[in-house]
Structure 1
């Protein structure tokens, strides 16, 4: 678990925006992340796929340090992490890095603000096409290649037609794609 001690200091200095805080949204978010990391869509995330994904997100971890930790969550005779192993790995890392305690109030708006802040890199209260493109590139998504595609994504949720997404537009968009918990 040397990776935990090495990365803990780095993570404690970074924003906790990527931390999944709301239990009602964790599974949905984790499934989306799992699908992004599973590049060949075989239902498994290999150590290599996870390492590449972390590198794209700017979390350059040594694969030699990652491998034993990840492999401890891979079931015998399987080539990588299934979703349940990925979820268990996330929970363990969350507890190790953040103590498993949630510092937020757990409200839906709090979760949305955290997500919004991931995209709003300059903190001006708006998501510009360039900011969206940067995040999409970090995730290795093909939509990030051409700014025209990114601008179309912005236009699709930009209700006041100012060429950028404010928090209320972001919230409206998220409410149409997220299923409320019961």
Structure 2
């Protein structure tokens, strides 16, 4: 759930995601639809049985989806902050999560995220709305420290960690 944690998602962003993932438009996310969303965000390590055990029901309305998002976010934040004993494990887990998330956005696998790739993924997640003024080129330019017009992994990592603060 790193993508969800590190990007500042508003309730309206989550509503758009919910509606995009609710393929049949019935106002509920089936476990299959929820699993598809998790796979789209690079979190495909859940089976349908694990999801059912986690959410304790077969479908989620929007309110339950918000609760699911909040509980997963809090769980991740608690792991990062509270981390028991090992010290280095949290940093390594964060780095691994960032690599997975980077790969979600790096659609062509060339090691860089372009504004077109960023826009494409945001559209796929239902988070792109031109009327909201979200401009991927501006986002890329803001974090593009070497001014090549795209984000390498280190620039992406800086963006994700700065946006979380």
TM-score by length of 1: 0.48
1:24-71 per-residue CA deviation (whole Å, 9 max, x = no partner) reads x598369849763324x9xxx99626478868x6xxxxxxxxxxx789
2:144 counterpart residue number? 158
1:83 aligns to 2:40 (yes or no): no
Using the alignment, how far apart are the partners of 2:28 and 2:102 within structure 1?
Answer: 26
1:136-175 mapped onto 2 (5 Å cutoff): 136-143=122-129, 149-175=135-161
Which of the numbers 104, 121, 141 marks the counterpart of 1:118? Answer: 104
Using CA pairs under 8 Å that are at least 6 residues apart, name the structure with larger relative contact order, 1 or 2. Answer: 2
Equivalents in 2 of 1:171, 1:79: separation in Å? 30
Would the alpha carbon gap of residues 36 and 126 (structure 1) be closer, same or farther in structure 2, given more than 3 Å must change? Answer: same
Which ranges of structure 2 fall in alignment gaps of 5 or more residues?
41-51, 76-88
The number of aligned residues is 124
Distance 1:80 1:73, change over 3 A: farther
1:36 and 2:13 correspond: yes
| Structure 1 Cα separation of the partners of residues 158 and 12 of structure 2 | 24
RMSD: 4.6
Q: Work out which of the residue numbers 57, 60, 79 in structure 2 matches 1:72.
A: 57
1:3-18 matches, cutoff 5 A: none
Distance in 1 (alpha carbons) for counterparts of 2:125 and 2:149:
23
Structure 1 unpaired stretches of 5+: 1-19, 58-68, 92-104
1:98 matched residue in structure 2: none
Deviation at 1:178, TM superposition (A): 2.0
Give the Å deviation of 1:79.
7.4
**Distance between the aligned counterparts of 1:168 and 1:48, measured in 2?**
39
Pair 1:116–1:132, CA change in 2 (3 A): same
How many Å apart are 1:169 and its aligned residue? 0.5
Between the aligned partners of 2:5 and 2:136, the Cα distance in structure 1 is 23
